Amino acid sequence: MSGGEQKPERYYVGVDVGTGSVRAALVDQSGVLLAFADQPIKKWEPQFNHHEQSSEDIWAACCVVTKKVVQGIDLNQIRGLGFDATCSLVVLDKQFRPLPVNHEEDSHRNVIMWLDHRAVSQVNRINETKHSVLQYVGGVMSVEMQAPKLLWLKENLRETCWDKAGHFFDLPDFLSWKATGVTARSLCSLVCKWTYSAERGWDDSFWKMIGLEDFVADNYSKIGNQVLPPGASLGNGLTPEAARDLGLLPGIAVAASLIDAHAGGLGVIGADVKGHGLVCEGQPVTSRLAVICGTSSCHMGISKDPIFVPGVWGPYFSAMVPGFWLNEGGQSVTGKLIDHMVEGHAAFPELQVKARARCQSVYAYLNSHLDLIKKAQPVGFLTVDLHVWPDFHGNRSPLADLTLKGMVTGLKLSQDLDDLAILYLATVQAIALGTRFIIEAMEAAGHSISTLFLCGGLSKNPLFVQMHADVTGMPVVLSQEVESVLVGAAILGACASGDFASVQEAMAKMSKVGKVVFPRLQDKKYYDKKYQVFLKLVEHQKEYLAIMNDN
């Protein structure tokens, strides 16, 4: 071969465990997805706000998808494996067997899902302590974090679960343990969801104050006393047993994991933006906000120095990009809210029939229907008298108020397809307005953001993307690879393999800009008015509550 021997291609496998499915990808050194597979996973909702899964079911799905993406590949060319997952809580006994997280004593269901809100009483008591660790979660801990869920288990399932437990894992750490036999935890999970500090470690006084002094007594062995940065290589790599399960070779490098949203941030935020006419080209990476939008949305901003933003999680040191502080805003339901609004509408059956006849998704059909009914005006103007407040599952950021409810104002008696399309549009706009609300809180505290980097399932919806650009007044960058979360997981595997010197180097080489969507600045005045109404909605909701609670 001319030019000397060509190096064989190097590949990495990224595995992403989302809310409803496990996905895997085979990714090359330049971040291109060569193979993709997904597999649904089971969810149980035994009662309202209780959401459970099975770690055995999740691992089985990981094995199915990994085997699919490596079919036909020389396994010697696969250099590393990275996992990301939702920040759900996995409970195992001292022999690593599943324990029940439910009153039915079904040990198969041993995972409390991230969106589970059973621990409201516990989180309220934790927040009443005003402990200093809370300043790193925006001042108020979320019911979706692990401390309240652990306290709930101790108070409600003492005999069947708590007393028998040997290991409490964040789901991403469970997966890396399953692959390597190493119980070391990722800094990402422990810092973001468990109150661990990258500088100071665990705070004994916090766990004692909230009634979980058990962890202090056994030196945190049940929740992690060995902590590694994301992308660090774990143990001796893939165990023979896990290699058989996954269809890979033993000893392949396995990385310390990331939470799914953080993997998405890693997959997009470091992209080289030269030549796209973006203001962030000449600015530090701290001017970028990664928005990972799927079932829920996460807003990831990084800074050189710690910035404390009320109602926004963090600052977390090195939780996503090594050496940077991370602030994480979020909306508890976004994709799930859009589905809820559309599927609950009287015209939904008609929409399904028409979309199927055109071989389109319901959302592609709705987007084209909006273009049809907008006539000469911009599509966003169809909601001039229809407004939505999107907190149907409470507010995560920047108000950190679990008690807030959703609101819709401007409904009429008609319930045809036009009404459904406009309600869908108003919901998408409300989510974008919520993003603007989070950005304003972050900027007021000291962040300086100029560009949004979107990824996740909703970033495939052009209306959702354009509304985020128009409502925030900022350009939106989409990755060349739409599956940025999987690229982020593969970046971890690439770092663990030693093929890149640092996470930053892997980010720059493996994440690429695909498309840039600019805001329609001529519509700014309209969206400023929509935003004024948006803020009034929550103000009014609080007033209604005060009236009804007045003695």
Q: What is the pLDDT of residues 29-64, one digit of tens each?
A: 999 999 999 999 999 999 999 999 999 999 999 999
- How confident is the model over 200-221, as a mean pLDDT? 97
- How confident is the model over 430-453, as a mean pLDDT? 98
- How confident is the model over 222-229, as a mean pLDDT? 96
Task: Of 490, 492, 499, give the one whose Cα is nearest residue 27.
Answer: 490
Rama region for 31: left / alpha / beta (φ>0; ψ in -120 to 50; rest): left
Percentage of residues in the chain having pLDDT higher than 90: 96
Residue at token pair 């991403």 = 172
First vs last C-alpha separation in the chain: 87
Q: How far apart are CA 65 and CA 59, in angstroms?
A: 10
List pLDDT tens digits, range 518-531: 999 999 999 999 99
- How confident is the model over 117-125, as a mean pLDDT? 97
- CA distances from residue 425 to 374, 411, 431, 527, 532 in whole angstroms, order as listed: 12, 14, 10, 13, 18
* SS3 call for 523: helix
Give the pLDDT score at 346. 98
- CA distances from residue 3 to 6, 7, 10, 30, 77 in whole angstroms, order as listed: 8, 11, 19, 21, 21
List pLDDT tens digits, range 59-115: 999 999 999 999 999 999 999 999 999 999 999 999 999 999 999 999 999 999 999
Q: Which residues contact 490 (CB under 8 A, 6 or more apart)?
A: 12, 13, 14, 25, 27, 31, 80, 82, 510
Q: Which residues of 149-183 are buried (b: 16+ CB within 10 A; e: fewer)?
A: bbbbbbebbeebbbebbbbbbbbbbbbbbbbbebb
Categorize the per-residue pLDDT at 170 as very low, low, confident or very high, splitting at 50, 70 and 90.
very high
Query: Which domains, from first to last, does the chain contain?
Result: 11-256 (3.30.420.40), 271-333+437-522 (3.30.420.40), 335-428 (1.20.58.2240)
Q: How far apart are CA 266 and CA 255, in angstroms?
A: 14
- How confident is the model over 470-487, as a mean pLDDT? 95
Is pLDDT at 385 greater than 50 in this prediction?
Answer: yes
Percentage of residues in the chain having pLDDT higher than 70: 99
CB 514 within 8 A of CB 293: no
Element (H, E) at 15: strand 11-17
Element (H, E) at 12: strand 11-17
User: Could you count the other beta carbons within 10 Å of the beta carbon of residue 3?
Assistant: 5
Give the pLDDT score at 464. 98
Average pLDDT, the chain: 96
Give the pLDDT score at 8. 74
CA 42: distance to chain centroid?
19
DSSP state of 353: H
Burial class (CB in 10 A: 0-12, 13-18, 19+), 353: exposed
- Compute φ and ψ for 399, nearest 5 degrees: -90, -20
Give the pLDDT score at 551. 84
* Size of the chain in residues: 551
Q: Which residues contact 499 (CB under 8 A, 6 or more apart)?
A: 10, 29, 79, 80, 506
Tokens, residue 172: 């991403």
CB 179 within 8 A of CB 81: yes
Categorize the per-residue pLDDT at 2 as very low, low, confident or very high, splitting at 50, 70 and 90.
very low
Give the pLDDT score at 473. 98
CB 454 within 8 A of CB 475: no
Q: Which residues contact 144 (CB under 8 A, 6 or more apart)?
A: 87, 114, 115, 116, 117, 332, 396
- CA distances from residue 307 to 187, 260, 286 in whole angstroms, order as listed: 19, 23, 12
- How confident is the model over 416-423, as a mean pLDDT? 98
Element (H, E) at 67: helix 55-69
Task: Of 232, 250, 186, 237, give the one whose Cα is nearest residue 495.
Answer: 232
Amino acid identity, position 67: K
Tokens, residue 185: 């935890």
Give the pLDDT score at 6. 59
Tokens, residue 340: 């809820």
Categorize the per-residue pLDDT at 5 as very low, low, confident or very high, splitting at 50, 70 and 90.
low
* SS3 call for 515: strand
Is pLDDT at 475 greater than 50 in this prediction?
Answer: yes
List pLDDT tens digits, range 484-519: 999 999 999 999 999 999 998 999 999 999 999 999
List pLDDT tens digits, range 241-277: 999 999 999 999 999 999 999 999 999 999 989 999 9
- How confident is the model over 354-359, as a mean pLDDT? 98
Q: Which residues of 317-326 are buried (b: 16+ CB within 10 A; e: fewer)?
A: bbbbbbebbb
Residue at token pair 């919901």 = 427
Beta bridge partners, 21, equal 40
CB 492 within 8 A of CB 255: yes
Give the pLDDT score at 3. 46
Is pLDDT at 468 greater than 90 in this prediction?
Answer: yes
Categorize the per-residue pLDDT at 482 as very low, low, confident or very high, splitting at 50, 70 and 90.
confident
